Amino acid sequence: MTGVSYQRLCRAGKAKKLALTVCMQKLLTILNVMMKSGTPWQRDCG
């Protein structure tokens, strides 16, 4: 999930720190929605 996004951003020439920040934001958004909806974490999404 976030690993693929990180690699894609790095290949696109983005700074590693920026790519990491984007992935952290994505994960925090997902976790926030999970907390609000009461959805448990699922290790395998697809």
User: What is the Cα–Cα distance from 34 to 45, expressed in whole angstroms?
Assistant: 13
pTM of the model as a whole: 0.74
Residues ≥6 apart with Cβ < 8 Å to 18: 9
Q: What is the pLDDT of residue 8?
A: 94
Task: Read off the pLDDT of residues 1-46 as tens digits, 9 standing for 90 and up.
Answer: 788 999 999 999 999 999 999 999 999 998 999 999 998 887 776 4
Q: Rounded distance, CA 39 to CA 36, Å?
A: 8
In this predicted structure, what is the pLDDT of residue 45? 61
Task: Check residue 2 and give its pLDDT.
Answer: 80
Q: Which of 32, 33, 6 is nearest to 21 (CA)?
A: 6
Distances (CA, A) of 21 to 2, 13, 44: 11, 15, 23
